[in-house]
């Protein structure tokens, strides 16, 4: 799950395993798709994020990366909050191997289109569009389908 800090717009991807190769490949796909919108990534200290392959890929895309301290989920608060919202649809111990990317995309979009008090009752999607305009990145339909 990727959560943009300003708008809190989120993108989630189904991956087959937590290997460094698979994770770095999906992060690379994300960085290419949202080029100009991704400045930095904050992740936990999982082996898939600490791996040299992942760090080299982020360097290649010009993305700064930061690691949260061990046992400090509050350092990735937006991400943790979004994962809590996902749990409304997928309870703990849900096997994501049986969830398709298109089903996950629909769920994430339903969360991204909810009005938020933080954004004066605009949705995350509306806030993300404004953020893209501010950064002079053309917002197009590819942002709506993460897969």
Give residue 79's domain range.
2-142
Res 141 pLDDT > 70: no
Please provide the average confidence, as pLDDT, over all residues in the chain: 89
Please indicate, yes or no, if residue 13 is contained in any of the structural domains: yes
| CATH number of the domain encompassing residue 26 | 3.30.420.10
Condensed to tens digits (0 to 9), the pLDDT of residues 40-56 reads: 898 988 999 999 999 99
| For residues 15-34, average pLDDT | 90
Q: How many domains does the chain have?
A: 1
Q: Tokens 């895309």 correspond to what residue?
A: 61
Q: Is residue 70 part of a domain?
A: yes
Tell me which of 3 and 141 has the higher pLDDT: 3
Does 147 reside within a domain? no
pTM, two decimals, is 0.84
Q: What's 68's DSSP letter?
A: P
For residue 142, pLDDT over 80 is answered with: no
Separation of alpha carbons 67 and 40, rounded Å: 11
Report the distance separating Cα 140 and Cα 90, nearest Å.
Answer: 28
What value does the mean pLDDT take over residues 61-75? 91
CB 82, CB 1: distance < 8 Å: yes
Report if residue 86 sits inside a domain.
Answer: yes
In this prediction, residue 132 carries a pLDDT of 84
pLDDT tens per residue, range 79-122: 999 999 999 999 999 988 899 999 999 999 999 999 999 999 99
Determine the average pLDDT of the residues in 15-26: 91
CA angle 57/58/60 to nearest 5° reads 65
Question: Looking at the predicted structure, is the pLDDT value of residue 145 above 70?
Answer: no
In this predicted structure, the answer to whether residue 146 has a pLDDT above a threshold of 80 is no
């Amino acid at each position: 799950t990727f959560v943009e800090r300003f708008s809190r717009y989120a993108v989630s991807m189904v991956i087959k395993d937590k290997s460094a190769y698979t994770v770095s490949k999906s992060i690379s796909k994300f960085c290419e798709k949202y080029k100009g919108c991704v400045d930095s990534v904050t992740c936990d200290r999982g082996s898939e994020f600490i791996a040299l392959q992942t760090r080299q890929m982020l360097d290649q895309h010009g993305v700064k990366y930061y690691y949260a301290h061990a046992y400090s989920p509050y350092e990735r608060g937006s991400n943790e909050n979004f994962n809590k919202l996902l749990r409304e649809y997928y309870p703990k111990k849900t096997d994501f191997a049986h969830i398709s990317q298109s089903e996950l995309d629909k769920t994430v979009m339903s969360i991204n289109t909810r009005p938020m008090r933080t954004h004066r009752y605009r949705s995350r999607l509306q806030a993300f569009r404004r953020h893209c305009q501010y950064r002079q990145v053309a917002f197009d339909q590819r942002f709506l389908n993460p897969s």
